[in-house]
Homo-oligomer: A and B are copies of this chain.
Amino acid sequence: MGSTEKLPKMQYRFLGRSGLQVSVISLGGWVTYGGQVGDQLAFDCMKAAYEAGINFFDCAEGYAAGKSEIVMGQAIKKFNWKRNDIVISTKIYWGSAYGDNPVNNGGLSRKHLIEGTNAALDRLQLDYVDLLYCHRPDRNTPIEETVRAMNYLINTGKTFYWGTSEWNSEEIAMAWAVAQRLNLIGPVMEQPQYNLLCREKVEKEFSLLYENYGLGLTIFSPLKTGILTGKYNDGMPDDSRYATAKDAYSTSKAKSFGDEQWQKDIESTKKLKPIADKLGTDTATLAMAWVIKNPNVSSAITGASKVEQVAKSVKALDYLEKLTPELMKEIDDTLGNKPTPLTRRF
């Protein structure tokens, strides 16, 4: 990363209505760390990210069966980062996705949330995370049980904030209703998928939550697992994550290659190329810049399986101002997928 001086200055945003600031580009440990990517490469990517001003590192107990947390914890220790300078998250739900015993080792019961968080903190070698997510909704556990357990984890100093990932708007509103009835702390952030090809949830379904609850978003898959880079435009390359799929997740994803949605997405991606050309960049950078142009996005979580990808993500910041209202409209018109936000009067 001898070229960090050429990178645009990192921007920081408040996480929703909270007082916490996260870099608008962040680094996730999804699939990669502890999984496909070797430890040294993971360390290199984290170092590059930190030097580029990224302060938010996102993980989950379910990533690579806990190995992502181990690698991330080792990096924090190895680089001797000050705890107050970084924002670390993890997510609870899929503790045993790759384990032996699914009973009570997943979901959002009080037992798993507390046992799972303690195990995650052990792996991370940390006393606390900054953000703790419920990685999915759990319809088998009452939301009150989950809200109370997340508040227990805040009150015992294991996390500063809690939030959700891939919950729908009703579930988030129900969590807030429970929290408000019991005078407890509600979910501050949600982690949905968001990108040029997947806009309904963020732009329509959640539209009343931003004002009502001050919800912040830490979105994942800003490039829709790589499709928006355009690298699949001409078919699956040999070195893609899917081509070399070794884990259950990638294997299942690989199967979707070529299906109807995939083909539609490839078509959309191709249509974006002329717009990217006009900006003097590629579709990947256009797509990344477009995501963080949305002020409800507090941070876009990026992946990196090569050190260079970190810098590439950060360079999207250079294009934020170039995304003029006219250009944003051109993108909407080109893709034809702009959702109509909900309003308070119907």
A residues lining the B interface (CB < 8 Å): 12, 14, 17-21, 23, 55, 83-85, 87, 95, 101, 103-105, 107-112, 114-116, 119, 130, 138, 140-142, 145-146, 148, 152, 154-157, 160-161, 182-183, 185, 214
Quote the shortest CB–CB distance from A55 to chain B (angstroms).
6
Q: Which residues of B lie under 8 Å from residue A146 when comparing CB positions?
A: 19
Listed residue (A21, A84, A160) with the most chain B CB atoms within 10 angstroms of its CB: A84
Listed residue (A101, A114, A119, A145) with the most chain B CB atoms within 10 angstroms of its CB: A145
User: Taking A55-B103, A103-B85, A182-B183 as contacts, is the C-beta distance between A145 and B18 under 8 angstroms?
Assistant: yes
Q: Which residues of B lie under 8 Å from residue A156 when comparing CB positions?
A: 157
CA distance A116 to B19 in the complex (A): 14
Copies of the polypeptide in the assembly? 4
Contact of A112 among B84, B104, B110 (CB under 8 A): B84
Whether the Cβ atoms of B18 and A83 lie closer than 8 Å is no
Whether the Cβ atoms of B214 and A103 lie closer than 8 Å is no
CA distance A244 to B123 in the complex (A): 52
Whether the Cβ atoms of B142 and A109 lie closer than 8 Å is no
User: Taking A83-B115, A160-B110 as contacts, is the C-beta distance between A103 and B12 under 8 angstroms?
Assistant: yes
Contact of A142 among B17, B83, B142 (CB under 8 A): B17
Contact of A84 among B20, B84, B105 (CB under 8 A): B105
Whether the Cβ atoms of A161 and B110 lie closer than 8 Å is yes
Contact of A114 among B112, B114, B160 (CB under 8 A): B160
Q: Which residues of B lie under 8 Å from residue A138 when comparing CB positions?
A: 19
CA distance A41 to B183 in the complex (A): 49
18 A/B residue pairs, CB under 8 Å, sorted by A: A19-B110, A19-B140, A19-B141, A20-B109, A21-B103, A21-B104, A55-B103, A84-B95, A84-B105, A84-B111, A84-B115, A85-B103, A114-B160, A142-B214, A155-B155, A156-B157, A182-B183, A183-B183
